[in-house]
Amino acid sequence: MSWLVSVMQQGMEYFFQLTGNYGIAIIILTVVIRVVLLPFTFSQVKAMKKMQELQPELKKLQNKYKNDPQRLNKETMELWKKHGVNPFSGCLPLLLQIPFLWAFFRMLYSYEPLIGAPFLWLSDLSLPDPTYILPVLAAVTTYWQSKIMSPAGVDASQQTMLYMMPIFLGWLASQYAAGLSLYWVVSNLLGILQQYLMPVGSPVKGEST
């Protein structure tokens, strides 16, 4: 992980030299990271398309076993397994960002030039956002991105991460450097934009438009 921290620090220094502002440098660095993750994003879109194609069969199972949740869950998992679909694939882009988030945290923790660096309403990117704007945005955008990338039909237990991760990251953002929150919010917004620019496809037959 130390090599990733070193790469991020070099990137931060390079983009600061270009822009003269650490907030803008963080945004550009975030864009670069999202570009690196693009192949995984394309793979995720393909997986979501496959999930969409299975929606008619999934609805049949839901109608057939609507009074038997355990059987429904079992049959749903078997359907996904049969077609090689990962029900947790919607969380993949989020999980792939965790090493980058951790490396960014490690980099900011020891990056002295960030101390006292202002950006927009923030007077110091090395301190938590006192207005809580970025922590709230971090939680909301995390939920938004996870929601639109999650396959339809997952049961309540499988949606636990969908609700818990935004809460956790929102809390984390309120405790640590605003620069970290800025990175996460921008990364989420870029992920959401990518998702809308690469639509899964048209609605399956039998669904309302």
Residue 22: the pLDDT is: 92
137-166 average pLDDT score: 71
CA distance 2 to 6: 6
Longest dimension (CA), the chain: 62
196-205 average pLDDT score: 52
**What's the total number of domains in the chain?**
1
CA distance 151 to 93: 13
Evaluated on CA atoms 44, 48, 49, 54, the torsion sign reads: positive
Residue 209: the pLDDT is: 37
> Which range, of 24-28, 127-131, 195-199, averages the lowest pLDDT?
195-199
Please report whether residue 158 resides in a domain. Answer: yes
**Is the model's pLDDT at 76 over the cut of 90?**
no
Please report whether residue 207 resides in a domain. Answer: no
Please report whether residue 203 resides in a domain. Answer: no
Please report whether residue 205 resides in a domain. Answer: no
For the chain, the average pLDDT equals 78
Q: pLDDT digits over 40-52, tens only?
A: 666 666 666 676 6
Closest CA to 147 of 37, 34, 48: 48
Strand partners, 119: 122
DSSP state of 119: B
Please report whether residue 188 resides in a domain. Answer: yes
Strand partners, 122: 119
Q: Which of 59-73, 150-164, 193-207 has the highest mean pLDDT?
A: 59-73
Residue 150: the pLDDT is: 61
Residue 169 is part of which domain span? 2-197
Burial class (CB in 10 A: 0-12, 13-18, 19+), 183: buried
Please report whether residue 73 resides in a domain. Answer: yes
Residue 57 vs residue 199, higher pLDDT: 57
DSSP state of 153: T
Residue 205: the pLDDT is: 38
**Is the model's pLDDT at 182 over the cut of 80?**
yes
Please report whether residue 209 resides in a domain. Answer: no
Please report whether residue 204 resides in a domain. Answer: no
Q: Which residues of 156-168 are buried (b: 16+ CB within 10 A; e: fewer)?
A: eebeebbeebbee
**Is the model's pLDDT at 105 over the cut of 50?**
yes
Return the percentage of the chain with pLDDT > 90, whole number.
18
**Is the model's pLDDT at 18 over the cut of 90?**
yes
24-50 average pLDDT score: 79
In whole angstroms, how large is the CA radius of gyration of the chain? 20
Residue 158: the pLDDT is: 54
